[in-house]
Amino acid sequence: NIVLTQSPATLSVTPGESVSLSCRASQSISTSIHWYQQKSNESPRLLIKYASQSISGIPSRFSGSGSGTDFTLSINRVESEDFSIYYCQQSYSSLYTFGSGTKLEIK
């Protein structure tokens, strides 16, 4: 199975800062990575698909990059509503896997 390693586990930031969250795959997966946001007691929401493709309705401050094994979710000028947990997920293999998540918290 393809293992996704997210780092850091927790990221403490001040609103207005820009941040980068990392997701590393155990093997090359081209751009078959997707990012989700999950707020407390809510269902996950798709933010970015195929590494860098935007999703309708998602604020433009969210962007993604990377290919192969290293991927990044960037948030430009974090807003208060962005403090939540972020997961990456791969679809290179039909046996989908998720990363363990990065919690974005207020400093």
- Residues of this chain that interact with other proteins (CB under 8 A) are 32, 34, 36, 38, 43-46, 49-50, 87, 89-91, 94-101
Nearer to other proteins, 24 or 49 (CB): 49
Residue closer to other proteins (CB basis): 56 or 80: 56
For the beta sheet containing 62-67, the strands, ordered from the edge strand earlier in sequence to the opposite edge, are 4-7, 19-25, 70-75, 62-67
CB of 5: closest distance to other proteins in angstroms? 12
Cα–Cα distance measured from residue 34 to residue 90, given in angstroms and rounded to the nearest whole number: 6
